C-alpha cells in the first residue's frame, strides 16, 4: 500500500524510518504526490522546495543505512509560513512587495529545524504580512480549508494549517501575533501552540507587532507539539527578547495527571456570542476533563473585553513602524514609474502593499502622530497592563484557563472580507494571552456540522509543559485528533 502521510505523526514517522518500514525518499515523494494531487484546489503553498528536499531525503536514508545517530526531526517533512525567512528560498510574506525576495539568511527557527534534520517542504500562504484571520488578505489568493473547500482555514497562518491538515507535511510553522496559529489550528482540527513571548526566537520573522510576535507551532498530537517546542525553544543572541530560561524538558511532563487541577472558565468569554454547536463541544470537553479528575470554577476577567481594541491600537502602530523599512531601495518591489526619491518611496509602497497593510500603516501612523500618541498608543499600553495584571492574578486561583478558540467554526471565504472591524473581532478569544505574554494552546475537541471545533488552554508564562500535559491526557481519552478530512 502506498504511504499516506496524512496518517503519520512525527513520532510514528520517526519509528517508521528507524525501523525501515519505509524510506525517507518514499516519505518525501508521498508528500509531494499528495501536494500535486490536491494543492491546486487548497492553495496552501506559495513555493515548493522539492529540488532541495529530495537530495536531503536521500542523505537521511544513507545516514539510516549507516546506522548514524539521527536528529530529533531527522527526515520529517515540515512546511514553513512565508513570513519566516529561509535562506535562498523565496519568502514573500504573501505580499507583492516581496514577490522576488530571496533572504540571505535563515530565521533561527529554520536553522533549528535544519539542525534537527527536518526537511522543508515549501513555504505556505498566509494573510499579507500576517495581517488577517482568513488568508483572504494574501496577495496570491486565499487558501481553502480541507474540511470544507468553501471555507477559510483561518488565518493568518492558514496555509500552514491547511497543509498539515491535508497531509502535505507532518508539522508546520506559523506565527502567532494575535491568534494566527491557534485560530487556524482550531478550524483545521490541529494543535496550535502560541508559546510564552520570548520562549522561541523571533529572529528572521518578518516583523509585524514586535511586542507580541512569536513563532507558532502546528502539530497533530500533543506529543509532536512537545517535540517541536523542545527543538525550537531557547535563548538566541539574535533576539534580545528571548528568555534566558532553557528549553524545557517536555517529555517528563506528558504523563502528568490532570487529577486535582483546577480550571478557570472566564465568564466574559461565554457571555459573547458563541455558537450553540461550539458551546456543545465546549461542554463535552469540560465533562471529559472532569472525568479525568479536574475541577472547574467560574472566574472573571472584566477587562478582557478591551483586548481586541488594545490589540488593534498596538498592532497598527507597530506595523506602521515595522513596514517603514520597505522603501523601494534596499530590497523588494520598486516602482518603475517614480521620477524622484520621494516617489520611489510613495509609489513603491502604494503599488506594493495590499489594502490591509495600507489600512494598518495608516491607522498606526495616525495613532503615533503628535497629539494622538497619549490617547491611543499609550492608553492601549496602560490598558494592556490592567489586562495582564488581571490574568496573572487569576493564576493564583486556577492552574489553567479554558475557553473556546473561536466563537464559531470556519467562516466561508468572502463572508467577512469587506468588513475590517468584523474581521478584527475574529480575534476575540485570542488576545488575552497575546497581551499578557502567556502561552496558549488550541486543542482539537470535536466537530459541529462536520467542521472542527477547538478548545483553548492558557497557563502562566513558561508553563507550556502544563498545557501540553493537559492536552495529552485529554487526547488519550478522546479520538478527535485521529479524524482526517475526506479529500
Partner 1 sequence: MAQKLTKQEVKKIADLARVALTDQEIEKFSNELSDILEYVHQLQEVDTASVRATNQVTGLSNVLRDDVVDACSDPEKLIALAPEHEDNLVKVKEVFDNGS
Catalytically active residues are 81, 156, 180
Least gap, CB of 96 to partner 1 (angstroms): 13
Q: In this chain, which of 11, 265, 292, 344 binds partner 1, going by CB under 8 A? A: 344
Q: Which is nearer to partner 1, 63 or 384 (CB)?
A: 384
**Sheet containing 451-458: which strands, arranged edge to edge?**
45-48, 119-124, 77-81, 171-175, 215-219, 191-194, 440-448, 451-458, 400-404, 262-266, 295-299
Upper half-sphere CA count for residue 51 (Cβ side, 13 Å): 3
C-beta neighbour count of 61 within 10 angstroms: 19
Q: Where are the beta strands (DSSP E) in 245-357?
A: 262-266, 295-299
Q: Which is nearer to partner 1, 52 or 343 (CB)?
A: 343
Q: Which of 45, 101, 191, 480 binds partner 1 (CB under 8 A)?
A: 101
Restricting to residues 280-309, which ones interact with partner 1 according to CB under 8 A? Answer: 303, 306, 309
Taking every pair of C-alpha atoms in the chain, what is the biggest distance, in angstroms?
Answer: 70
Dihedral of alpha carbons 442, 222, 389, 263, sign: positive
CB-wise, 178 or 444, nearer to partner 1? 178
Shortest distance, position 168 Cβ to partner 1, whole Å: 29
Q: Answer yes or no whether residue 421 interacts with partner 1 by CB under 8 A.
A: yes
228 three-class SS:
helix
218 φ/ψ angles, rounded to the nearest 5 degrees: -110, 130
Residues with Cβ within 8 Å of 1's Cβ and at least 6 positions away in sequence, in order, are none
Among 32, 218, 345, 474, binds partner 1 (CB under 8 A): 345
> Is the CB of 350 or the CB of 414 nearer to partner 1?
350
Q: Which residues pair with 145 in a beta bridge?
A: 148
Whole-number minimum distance, CB 381 to partner 1, in Å? 4
| DSSP helix/strand/coil, 84 | strand
Q: Which of 118, 313, 413, 459 binds partner 1 (CB under 8 A)?
A: 313
Q: Interface with partner 1 includes 247 (CB under 8 A)?
A: no
Task: Give the nearer residue to partner 1 in terms of CB position, either 187 or 197.
Answer: 197
| Sites for partner 1 among residues 159-198 (CB under 8 A) | 196-198
Taking residues 202 to 221 in sequence order and writing x for each that binds partner 1 by CB under 8 A, - otherwise, the string is ---------xx---------
320, 432, 473, 481: which one binds partner 1 (CB under 8 A): 320
**Opening angle at CA 279, ends 444 and 263, nearest 5:** 70
Number of residues that bind partner 1 (CB under 8 A): 70
Contact with partner 1 (CB under 8 A) among 341, 397, 414, 477: 341
Query: According to CB under 8 A, which residues from 256 to 275 bind partner 1?
Result: none
Min CB(348)–partner 1 separation in Å: 8
Q: Does 332 bind partner 1 (CB under 8 A)?
A: yes
Q: Round to whole Å and give the CA distance between 377 and 383.
A: 10
Smallest distance from partner 1 to CB 362, Å: 5
Report CA 281 to chain centroid distance, whole Å: 22
Contact 462, 253 (CB under 8 A): no
Instruction: Choose between 360 and 472: whose C-beta lies nearer to partner 1.
Output: 360
167 neighbors 12 (Cβ within 8 angstroms): no
SS3 446: strand
| Minimum gap (Å) between residue 171 Cβ and partner 1 | 26
Q: Per-residue contact track with partner 1, 354 to 393, x per CB under 8 A?
A: -x--xx-xxx-xx--x-----xx-xxxxxxxxx-x-----
**β-bridge partners, 151:** 412
- CA dist., res. 288 & res. 297, Å (int): 15
Cell numbers found for residue 229 = 517546542
Cis peptide bond upstream of 156, omega within 30 = yes
Per-residue string for binding with partner 1, 432-461, x by CB under 8 A? ---xxx-----------------------x
Q: Which residues pair with 448 in a beta bridge?
A: 451
* The only residue of 40, 69, 104, 371 in contact with partner 1, by rule CB under 8 A: 104
Which helix (H) or strand (E) covers residue 452, if one does?
strand 451-458
Q: Does residue 108 belong to the site contacting partner 1 (CB under 8 A)?
A: no
Residues across the chain: 487
CB of 183 to partner 1, least distance (A): 19
Decide: 50 and 260 in contact? Cβ < 8 Å: no
Torsion angle defined by CA atoms of residues 370, 375, 381 and 382, in that order, rounded to the nearest 10 degrees: 140
Q: Interface mask (CB under 8 A) for partner 1, residues 459-478, using x and -?
A: --x-----------------
Least distance in Å: CB of 267 to partner 1? 19
Taking CB under 8 A as the criterion, the residue among 4, 37, 62, 102 binding partner 1 is 102
Residue 407 beta carbon to partner 1: minimum distance, rounded to whole angstroms: 17
Do the beta carbons of residue 193 and residue 229 sit within 8 Å? yes
Binding site for partner 1 (CB under 8 A): 101-102, 104-105, 196-198, 211-212, 237, 240-241, 243, 303, 306, 309-310, 312-313, 320, 327-334, 338-347, 349-351, 353, 355, 358-359, 361-363, 365-366, 369, 375-376, 378-386, 388, 420-421, 424, 435-437, 461
Amino acid at each position: 500500500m502506498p504511504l499516506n502521510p496524512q496518517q503519520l505523526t512525527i513520532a510514528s514517522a520517526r519509528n517508521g524510518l528507524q525501523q525501515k518500514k519505509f524510506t525517507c525518499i518514499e516519505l518525501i515523494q508521498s508528500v509531494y504526490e499528495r501536494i500535486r494531487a490536491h494543492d491546486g484546489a487548497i492553495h496552501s503553498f506559495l513555493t515548493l522546495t522539492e529540488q532541495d528536499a529530495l537530495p536531503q531525503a536521500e542523505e537521511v536514508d544513507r545516514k539510516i543505512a549507516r546506522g548514524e545517530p539521527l536528529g530529533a526531526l531527522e527526515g520529517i517533512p515540515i512546511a514553513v509560513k512565508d513570513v519566516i525567512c529561509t535562506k535562498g528560498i523565496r519568502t514573500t510574506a504573501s505580499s507583492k512587495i516581496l514577490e522576488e525576495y530571496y533572504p540571505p539568511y535563515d530565521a533561527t527557527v529554520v536553522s533549528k529545524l535544519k539542525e534537527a534534520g527536518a526537511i522543508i517542504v515549501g513555504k505556505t500562504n498566509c494573510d499579507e504580512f500576517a495581517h488577517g484571520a482568513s488568508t483572504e488578505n494574501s496577495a496570491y489568493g486565499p487558501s481553502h480549508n480541507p474540511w470544507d473547500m468553501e471555507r477559510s482555514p483561518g488565518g493568518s497562518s492558514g496555509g500552514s494549517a491547511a497543509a498539515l491538515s491535508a497531509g502535505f507535511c507532518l508539522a508546520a510553522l506559523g506565527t502567532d501575533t494575535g491568534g494566527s496559529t491557534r485560530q487556524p489550528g482550531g478550524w483545521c482540527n490541529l494543535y496550535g501552540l502560541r508559546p510564552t513571548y520570548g520562549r522561541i526566537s523571533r529572529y528572521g520573522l518578518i516583523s509585524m507587532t514586535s511586542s507580541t510576535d512569536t513563532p507558532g507551532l502546528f502539530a497533530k498530537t500533543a506529543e509532536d507539539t512537545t517535540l517541536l517546542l523542545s527543538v525550537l525553544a531557547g535563548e538566541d543572541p539574535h533576539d534580545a527578547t528571548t528568555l534566558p530560561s532553557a528549553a524545557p524538558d517536555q517529555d517528563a511532563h506528558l504523563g502528568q495527571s490532570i487529577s486535582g487541577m483546577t480550571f478557570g472558565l472566564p465568564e466574559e468569554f461565554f457571555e459573547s456570542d458563541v455558537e450553540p454547536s461550539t458551546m456543545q463541544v465546549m461542554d463535552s470537553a469540560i465533562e471529559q476533563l472532569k472525568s479525568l479528575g479536574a475541577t472547574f470554577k467560574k472566574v472573571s476577567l472584566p477587562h478582557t473585553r478591551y483586548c481586541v481594541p488594545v490589540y488593534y491600537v498596538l498592532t497598527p502602530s507597530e506595523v506602521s513602524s515595522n513596514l517603514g523599512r520597505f522603501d523601494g531601495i534596499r530590497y523588494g518591489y520598486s516602482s518603475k514609474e517614480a521620477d524622484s526619491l520621494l516617489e520611489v518611496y510613495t509609489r513603491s509602497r502604494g503599488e506594493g502593499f495590499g489594502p490591509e497593510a495600507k489600512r494598518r500603516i495608516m491607522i498606526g501612523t495616525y495613532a503615533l502622530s503628535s497629539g494622538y500618541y497619549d490617547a491611543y498608543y499609550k492608553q492601549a499600553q496602560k490598558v494592556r497592563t490592567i489586562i495582564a495584571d488581571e490574568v496573572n492574578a487569576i493564576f493564583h486561583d486556577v492552574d489553567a484557563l479554558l475557553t473556546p478558540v473561536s466563537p464559531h467554526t470556519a467562516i466561508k471565504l468572502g463572508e467577512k472580507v469587506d468588513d475590517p472591524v468584523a474581521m478584527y473581532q475574529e480575534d476575540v478569544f485570542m488576545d488575552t494571552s497575546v497581551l499578557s505574554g502567556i502561552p496558549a494552546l488550541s486543542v482539537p475537541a470535536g466537530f459541529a456540522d462536520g467542521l472542527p471545533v477547538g478548545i483553548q488552554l492558557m497557563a502562566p508564562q513558561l508553563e507550556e509543559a502544563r498545557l501540553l500535559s493537559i492536552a495529552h491526557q485529554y487526547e488519550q481519552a478522546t479520538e478527535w485528533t485521529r479524524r482526517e478530512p475526506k479529500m
